[in-house]
Chain A
């Protein structure tokens, strides 16, 4: 069949669908297609009507990774059920993460995602307040709202402690995809707390989620009174179930585990509540427990990045994302020669506080093997740590970094990518394309022995 014939056949098929649509629209007052008028396509299993709520082009396949097993049995390893689903950062343009690609860590695992009907939703605020309050979703939405663009990032993003880091860190999304950026709409937590009247002596808030195990995390009242949002919308529509439908907390600039999903309760207290998920990990440089704080500046190049391929020498636009817990990104420098020289990239305006910031730099690839890397500086003048500097202290093998005192968790060092002469981009932070290579005479340490119950092939976190 020639292409002309194919397109003609397709035209006829689509024409038939269109006809069905017209019949459906006239035949039913609600605009829905009645059973007898349903076109044959719609009767096939798996048919999805995307006219009401749009779908992307059939040529687009970008996906979160890993994809969770759809059916969970008692035999399914927990680490596959609760593996964080990462955003494919290498596929994103601009600064907004589409809702279906927003990363999520399933705090409700191994139970199904909460399925909260908006009518049944209640938010309770109590503890050290003058007027304890219960709000419905409708009441929450009557209060003055804000819409702000903020990133979220998992505490363990880019972590160097996981096994099989080479196999599972080849692309930008696999290595760093536990961060996403969206416009969140909701009510400032400070407004709700003022409405309830915070009592003297209060210093912390405890937030609890509505999943079966009721994740619970406390953080400082000072932050709660600053910029925390009790959010009910994500990029203009209701929050997705996996992101906390119908209401979640959004704690800008801090570790994602503070941003309690399916938020059901806020309790104002005078010390960390130390319930289920207040397990510590809050040690300051003096060894003392210090509470949560903002994340360090971080940036990565998303194009060209691991797993992609440049078809040949010539002009390309290097592009990537930078973000910091401190607020605004001031500068992103990019090297294309392994750190010998750095050029300032252009920042996409407007540069927003605690939002992903897109940077771009036109670049002519001469076809030779090279290392590209980005490095950012934030409004507090803090500059992203160079991977090569971190290596001086912790060694060249990430196996050494798996100590709890290493920068292994929420790693914020720079991300080098190597472009080989065939145009293929490789992970160069470690592994076969490690740059600079291991010192002569040294070999990569043997992996640690596996513990029983540990399923290596399903380790993502």
Chain B
């Protein structure tokens, strides 16, 4: 019995290997649509993941970011980033207040600094989302991280350094909008 099994095992392995080949290649069934080149994908792939692979070239520091902040952001978020968002769609609750700065604020609650970059890049300043250059987004992100004491004023933020910024709550979710199931 055992010897039969010993004999069969390599055969079974061989068979399963053969069977796996077409499955692994996963050829399309319907062949509808256009294949995409790596260059085309790069143009579409603009949402920034936690590893920051999609981040564009450019760089900025908190010092540069302060100027942008004063001109374009402070009127709603406050010079210290601790004002209630103007016209915020959510009311504050007793244990959280959706402002950017501070211990329970939006910045410190993010697990990844790359998320902050992505929000500013797409959405801010409100009504003019997408108008900041990559360098300006790096600088503004750097300024917010600097205000929270997460990076230093002269730290250069770019595609390499930003994903390496260790957020205080990278391993737990501090989101003011968290929902408990």
Contacts and interface: CB of A to CB of B under 8 A. Distances in A.
Nearest to A449: B92
B59 interface: no
B181 A285 contact: yes
Interface string A65-107: 0000000001001110011000000000000000000000000
Given A161-B91, A194-B29, A278 B115 contact: yes
Interface stretch (B7-15, B121-129, B140-148): B121-129
Interface in B97-137: 97, 109-112, 114-115, 118-119, 122-123, 126-127, 129-130
B181 A161 contact: no
Contacts of B111: 274, 280
A134 B181 contact: no
A461 B98 CA distance: 14
A27 to B, nearest CB: 44
B83 to A, nearest CB: 7
B26 interface: yes
Contact of A405 (B44, B90, B180): B180
A331 interface: no
Contact of B97 (A161, A290, A451): A451
A402 B177 CA distance: 11
Which residue, B97, B110, B175, B180, has most C-beta atoms of chain A within 10 A?
B180
A162 interface: yes
Interface in B53-110: 83-97, 109-110
Contact of B94 (A214, A281, A293, A402): A402
Contacts of A454: 84, 88, 91
B88 A453 contact: yes
A402 B93 contact: yes
B47 A276 contact: yes
A212 B124 CA distance: 11
B114 A133 contact: no
Contacts of B36: 124, 126, 132-134
Given A161-B91, A448-B94, A283 B33 contact: no
A54 interface: no
Given A212-B129, A275-B48, A280-B178, A134 B34 contact: yes
A216 B33 contact: no
Contacts of B50: 271-274
A25 interface: no
A269 B96 contact: no
Contact of B84 (A161, A274, A279, A451): A451
B179 A282 contact: yes
A194 to B, nearest CB: 7
A32 interface: no
Contact of A131 (B35, B83, B110, B178): B35
Contact of B26 (A124, A136, A197, A212): A197
Contact of A214 (B29, B85, B122): B122
Nearest to A456: B91
Interface residues of B, number: 59
Given A274-B111, A278-B115, A130 B26 contact: yes
A49 to B, nearest CB: 36
Contact of A452 (B84, B115, B123, B178): B84
A186 to B, nearest CB: 14
B180 A285 contact: yes
Given A214-B122, A271-B50, A452-B84, A461 B90 contact: yes
A131 B29 CA distance: 12
A110 B177 contact: no
A206 interface: yes
A26 interface: no
Interface in B167-181: 172-181
Interface string A240-283: 00000000000000000000000001010101111110111111
A459 interface: yes
Interface string B152-178: 000000000000000000001111111
B72 to A, nearest CB: 14
B162 to A, nearest CB: 13
B175 A276 contact: no
B1 interface: no
A161 B91 CA distance: 7
Contact of A276 (B40, B90, B115, B179): B115
Given A453-B84, A461-B89, A290 B33 contact: no
B179 A134 contact: no
A396 interface: no
B17 interface: no
B45 A213 contact: no
B175 A281 contact: yes
A403 interface: yes
Interface in A187-204: 194-198
Given A267-B45, A451-B97, A82 B173 contact: no
A404 B106 CA distance: 14
A358 interface: no
22 contacts: A78-B88, A110-B126, A124-B41, A126-B36, A132-B36, A134-B33, A134-B35, A135-B34, A142-B30, A155-B179, A196-B28, A206-B47, A265-B47, A274-B115, A280-B111, A281-B175, A282-B173, A283-B173, A283-B178, A293-B181, A402-B91, A455-B87
Given A269-B49, A404-B176, A454-B84, 6 more contacts: A110-B126, A135-B32, A143-B32, A216-B118, A279-B110, A404-B177
Interface of A: 74, 77-79, 82-83, 110-111, 124, 126, 130-136, 139, 142-144, 155, 161-163, 194-198, 206, 208, 212-214, 216, 265, 267, 269, 271-276, 278-285, 287-290, 293, 402-405, 408-410, 448, 451-455, 459, 461
User: Which 7 pairs show the lowest CB-CB distances between chains A and B?
Assistant: A280-B175, A197-B26, A78-B87, A275-B47, A132-B36, A451-B84, A402-B93
